[in-house]
């Protein structure tokens, strides 16, 4: 079990956090890229720690990653 406490956000909050649409966030949940947690009948929450873990830096030419 992870020692990091979850930081819950709505679909709209995650979309704002990433600068993308709510439709894209919902597609990421449907594809299994993000885990959505149902709270009650309608509310969905997503752990921002999981969202942040998806972010991968793009190597620059200076770092030797691109050729």
| pLDDT above 80 for 14 | yes
* Closest alpha carbon to 47 in 37, 39, 38: 37
Predicted confidence at residue 16, as pLDDT, reads 97
Q: What is residue 65's predicted lDDT score, i.e. its pLDDT?
A: 58
Q: Into how many domains does the chain fold? A: 1
pLDDT tens string 22-66: 999 999 999 999 999 999 999 999 999 999 999 998 888 887 655
For residue 35, the number of C-alpha atoms closer than 13 Å in the C-beta half-sphere is 8
- The whole-number pLDDT of residue 64 equals 67
SS (H, E, C) the chain: CCCCCCCEECHHHHHHHHCCCHHHHHHHHHHCCCCCEEECCCEEEEEHHHHHHHCCCCCCCCCCCCC
The answer to whether position 44 is within a domain reads yes
The reported pLDDT for the residue numbered 46 is 98
Structure tokens at 31: 């594809």
Find the domain containing 42 and state its range: 9-54
Inside any domain, residue 15: yes
């Amino acid at each position: 079990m992870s020692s990091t406490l979850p930081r819950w956000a709505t679909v709209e909050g995650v979309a704002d956090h990433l600068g993308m649409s709510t439709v894209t966030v919902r597609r990421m949940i449907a594809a299994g890229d993000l885990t959505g947690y149902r709270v009650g009948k309608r509310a969905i929450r997503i752990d921002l720690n999981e969202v942040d873990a998806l972010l991968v830096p793009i190597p620059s030419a200076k770092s030797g990653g691109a050729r």
